[in-house]
Each structure stands twice: as structure tokens, then as C-alpha cells.
Amino acid sequence: MKRSESAGKAPMENLSERDSRHIWHPLTQHKHHPHALPIERASGAYLYDTSGKAYIDGISSWYTCIYGHCHPYITGRVAARMQQLDQVVFAGLTHQPAVSLAESLIEILPDNQEKVFFSDNGSTAVEVALKMALQYHFNQGRKKDLLLAFESGFHGDTFGALSVSGLSVYNGPFDGMALEVFRIPPPVEADPQQTLAQLGKWVDTGRVAAFIYEPLVQGAAAMKTHHPEGLDRILGFLRTRGVLLVADEVMTGFGKTGTCFASEQLRVKPDLICLSKALSAGLLPLAVTTCTQEVYDAFYADEVAKGFFHGHTYTANPLACEAALAALELYQSSEIQDGLKRVMESHREFAARMEGHPMVAEIRHIGAILALDIRIGAERYGDLRQQLYQRGLENGVYLRPLGRTLYTLPPYVISQEALGQIYSTMESLLDYCSGLG
């Protein structure tokens, strides 16, 4: 009775108040932030709240909606597919959207990739890759139970993905409960000799199964970038020692770094690749883990137990696959490629203008990603970060600062006017911080 009475009254109440009654939001300390901003609709580069106010989505809703929100080409394709096929078990069955998507991905991925395994999100794509890497060695009679990862990396929230992540704000309560991982500093130079020497000692133990890395840029680590030659040196060394290379392209995939995949800008290609986020353009949850024929062959055997026994209920959901197919077609269109180039050039111009700004400690720009470090101390989820977030909203721009880092990765369809509003908002936030000094 209580629930039905509440349901009857709910529409008359403020949506944010209703939300706070029952919903537990991610990455939120609700004692400090009890209310969420209610969004009613989205279109193109904009989000609209229940009062009708518009906000530029400056981070493409966590790097997913890079073709803009509710793109009619994608929603139209999914609506049509919905009338024909909604969900089907993917164990022993298959369907055209999954097959076509796998074929389309293999065509554009690094040329050593051959097999596609479907899952639901970035964390699960990483879980799949880590389990594949560990079982790859196990199936061949080798006990390799250690993983390598970068310091300050982030690969997801599930336990395997959390294990290889290196941000204490996420990992702290679970120290000592996860997989064993060695961490190395991301390369900031072309010849990371000290790191290579340390890697040699670890690999000599004979226990290292795989190295997982975010190629060229670490998203959750405030868009920290790598030296590509230094990363290639690390990857090349590990390749010669039989360590599987796992590229986490969940954030970087589909043009974010200027090429479709960041791995294209490196000489050494990964053995496994994790994709999600923009894969389905933010419309429906979908992820894939791809691998080489050599990895797949280690599971192809007469012994049933050597198969990869991992599966999710919504594996290769037909609607999500259809969204991804439409998204891939959009990515390759002149509309999107021209938009991406325009965003990249605008970022370059703004970054050049910000060089020498008294409140900018560092500027990082790669592809559609632009990040500014403010010359001021700030905790990752502290008071200053919250002030900057709120002031961005007041300016009509949705940004999620990471501590003292302001960054943007906007939809490729964003207008020049909206891009200018993002930049002017960033400048106003720098001016605000200057006043705090």
C-alpha cells in the first residue's frame, strides 16, 4: 500500500527530491551531495533539465555520446530492429547484428585482431581480457598469475578491473583482496631505461601473464598522456618475453586520440583490445574484447574445460549491436570526420592561447581531448572540484573536473559556438581559482 500511495503522489513532487529518497548514485558521497540534477531530454551536444535549461555536454556523457545525443540515424536503426528482434541468448545462437558488427570491427581494428567476444560495459570487457590472458597460459600448462599495469591507471570497477587499476580513491577499501599486480610508471620519455630494467626483473620470475594499459592517455588519471616511443619500447620488450599485451581502448576508441584507435599510433600492436563506451554511441550498454588468432587457438581444443566459460545474459544484445553498427557507419561518415577534425583544430588553437596563462600549470591535448591543470591544490572529489563543477553548470556547461584538472571531450557534432562556450567557461573557472589565491 505504501508503494502505491507513494507512486500516486510522486509526479507532483520535485524529481530531485524523489531521486534522493531511493537512489544511490555512483561516485557520490550523498551526505555532501544529496541531490542530482534532473535531466529530461538530450539532443546533439546538449542536455536539458526539467526546467528547460540547456547544458553543453562537455564530456560526451563519459565519452560515449560522441555523435551527439539521440542521433536520428542510430535511434531509427534501433527502433526498426526492435520490431524484429529484441533479445536472444547468445550461447549456441547468433544473429545478423552481431555477425555484421564483428565483421565491421575486424575491418578497422589493428590487423592482428581476429576474434570478437561480446559483453556489457568497459569493466566487463577488461574482466574478459584478464581472464583470457590468465587462461591462455593455463591452457598451455604455464602457471602465470601476475599482471602488469600502469600506476594511476583505471580499468573499471569490477574486481579484476579494479585490481589492475591504480587509483586509491577507488581501490582503498579493497586492498589485499584482489589479483596480484605489479605497477610501473607511465613513460614520459622515449627511452624509459629504469622502467625496462624493473620489468626485466619481474618478467624473470616467470609469473607475468599480461600487461594492461591505456594507450597514449590515461582517462581517469586526469587525461595524463604517454610518450608514444617510450610506450612502444615497453610493449616491444614485453612482447619478446611472451607477456600478452592488453590495450584498454574503452575511453580512447573511435577517434578520441585522432585515430580510430590509439593503438594505431604505436608500432607494437596489442594481443587483446577492450572496447565499450562510444562503441554503441551511448545508446545501449555494449562492450567487446577482441584478440588475435593465437590467443583464440589456446582455447580451441578437444578438452571442453579449455573453452572460455564466461557469459552474460545480455551478451551481444541485438539492439545494442544494431546501435553499434549504425555508430560505426556514422564514425566513418564525412559529417563526423569533419566534426572531429574541427574539434581537434579548435582544441589546438585554444591550447595555444592558454600557454603562459598564470593559472595553468600544464596543458595536454591529444585528438578530441583537451585538459588543463590549474596551478592550485585540489583533492580529486574535494570542495574546490565541486565548486568548479557547479560554476560550470551555472554557465550552461556540464564538465566533471578531476581534482585540479579541467578537461573536455565534446561530441564531434558540437557547434563552434558551443565549443567557444566550453572554452570561455574554462577560462572563467581559471579566473575564479585566481581569486582564491
Share of the chain above pLDDT 90, in %: 87
Integer distance in angstroms from the first to the last C-alpha of the chain?
A: 56
pLDDT digits (tens, 9 = 90+) for 340-396: 999 999 999 999 999 999 999 999 999 999 999 999 877 777 788 899 999 999 999
In terms of DSSP bridges, do strands 146-150 and 181-184 run parallel, antiparallel, or are they unpaired? parallel
- Of the pLDDT bands very low, low, confident and very high (cuts 50, 70, 90), residue 172 is confident
**Is 204 a residue whose pLDDT tops 60?**
yes
Nearest to 54 by CA among 69, 66, 67, 35: 69
Average pLDDT over residues 145-152: 96
pLDDT digits (tens, 9 = 90+) for 104-136: 999 999 999 999 999 999 999 999 999 999 999
- CATH number for the 73-331 domain, one of 3.60.150.10, 3.40.640.10, 3.40.109.10, 3.30.70.120? 3.40.640.10
The pLDDT of residue 437? 62
Query: CA 224 to CA 154: how far, in whole Å?
Result: 12
Q: Dihedral (C-alpha) 303, 307, 312, 315: value to the nearest 10 degrees?
A: -120
Mean pLDDT for the chain overall: 94
- Of the pLDDT bands very low, low, confident and very high (cuts 50, 70, 90), residue 11 is very low
Query: CA 272 to CA 422: how far, in whole Å?
Result: 35
Comparison of pLDDT for 298 and 166, the residue scoring more: 298
pLDDT digits (tens, 9 = 90+) for 28-61: 999 988 899 999 999 999 999 999 999 999 999 9
The pLDDT of residue 173? 83
Q: Which amino acid is at 339?
A: G
Query: CA 296 to CA 289: how far, in whole Å?
Result: 12
Whether 37-70+333-436 shares its CATH topology with 73-331 is answered: no
Domain segments of the chain: what residues? Answer: 37-70+333-436, 73-331
Q: For the domain bounded by 37-70+333-436, which CATH number is listed?
A: 3.90.1150.10
What's the whole-model pTM score? 0.95
Average pLDDT over residues 301-316: 96
The pLDDT of residue 382? 76
Query: CA 424 to CA 426: how far, in whole Å?
Result: 5
Nearest to 36 by CA among 17, 51, 61: 17
- Of the pLDDT bands very low, low, confident and very high (cuts 50, 70, 90), residue 404 is very high
In terms of DSSP bridges, do strands 217-218 and 224-225 run parallel, antiparallel, or are they unpaired? antiparallel
The pLDDT of residue 60? 98
Nearest to 310 by CA among 122, 90, 44: 90
Least confident of 14-28, 61-75, 79-93, 269-283: 14-28
Query: CA 15 to CA 18: how far, in whole Å?
Result: 5
pLDDT digits (tens, 9 = 90+) for 65-88: 999 999 999 999 999 999 999 999
Least confident of 115-119, 303-307, 383-387, 428-432: 383-387
Query: CA 257 to CA 369: how far, in whole Å?
Result: 7
Average pLDDT over residues 185-193: 95
H helix and E strand count, the chain: 15, 16
The pLDDT of residue 435? 86
Query: Do residues 238 and 268 lie in contact, with contact meaning Cβ atoms separated by under 8 Å?
Result: no
